[in-house]
Amino acid sequence: MLSQTSNWSKIAGQNFSSTYTTETQNDLALELDRLTCAYGKKVVVNNLSLHVPIGSVYGFLGPNGAGKTTTIKTLVGMRPLQSGRATLLGMDVATQGLEIRQYVGYMAETNNLYGHMKVSEMVEVARRMSHRWNSQSVNHYLDLFQLPHKEKIRKLSKGMKGQLALTLVLGSEPDLLILDEPTSDLDPLKRYEFLNQIVREVSSAGRTIFFSSHNLSEVEQIADRVAIVNEGRLIVEDDLDSLKSREKAVKTAFDRPVWTHDLEAIPGVRRVLQEGRRFRLLVRGEAEQVVAELHNLGASSVEIVDMNLEAIFVAYLQDCQQGRLHESLPE
């Protein structure tokens, strides 16, 4: 497999038998159990538990400083596991690092490609380091991203370097692909092509994608399960469809004056936003019950609207900031 850091290149030349088989793995490609990480006295990941089903496309979300990159670096062995337990494809991160690297592909937000090499030379280095390599797939991605085979890597744009790094990671056909901000350097068209190709070609083979991203619209396009973390703690983890079906907004208006606190007192209402003479109620749970209460209060118009992932994300973080999260988390 291609190395993004020296730690991930140490597998080259090693001879050992792996204990990972499709028969021995459980139904989770990635599992964290109360993972805690700290830099000195500063805790950056706090008692974090995650469950990533095999074959899923899993979005790992949070604001800057939420502990996402630290979590990922712990998963791939770039920093020691300090407390808790982590398994990838049923293998223990703390004790089976070499075996894990045969089956897990990792792409960091920044890459360590060799600038003095040509693209074709870097491809050959990666091929020699991988215990299973798909040249046809690599050539496909080289063509898709229009990467010049004979060009020196140092002359490539930042976006093209990211595309090359991704191509090389995919060349080893990982069963679990871990990506840290994979599209941060791509323009919108290339980002769209990349996301669709990854989902179609990786997940269709029963493989799993675990990725972090600040672009919530792209997460919503491709993820089927998400987790939101803040200050190192898990805020919510759920299937995306289930999360979106539970989180709604209700727009309403009244022909008479109404107090905001009367609307906030309705069961299931998390927050009330006033928009001119109208109100928007953020609702978790049965929105129809909120609608009935609004009609009882004399609402002249009521409309249930879906919330996109970005709106849901912001609502959860606002709950954290206002100390209301314990009131609104699903049971």
Kindly report, as residue ranges, where domains of CATH 3.30.70.980 are found in the chain: 242-328
* Ranges of residues in the chain whose predicted pLDDT is under 50: 1-19, 22-24, 326-331
pTM: 0.85
Q: What CATH homologous superfamily does 242-328 map to?
A: YebC, transcriptional regulation domain (3.30.70.980)
Which fold, 6-231? Rossmann fold (3.40.50)
> Cα–Cα distance between 284 and 244 in angstroms, integer?
10
Which tokens sit at 35? 């993972």
CB 37 within 8 A of CB 71: yes
pLDDT of residue 188: 78
Per-residue model confidence as pLDDT tens digits over 180-224: 988 776 777 777 777 777 777 677 678 999 999 988 998 998 999
Residues 89, 93, 97: CA angle, nearest 5 degrees: 95
Q: Where in the chain is the domain with CATH 3.40.50.300?
A: 6-231
| Neighbour count for residue 199 (Cβ, 10 Å) | 16
Instruction: Measure Cα distances from 127 to 97, 163, 169, 270 in Å.
Output: 20, 17, 10, 53
Cα dihedral 324, 65, 28, 131 in deg (nearest 10)? 170
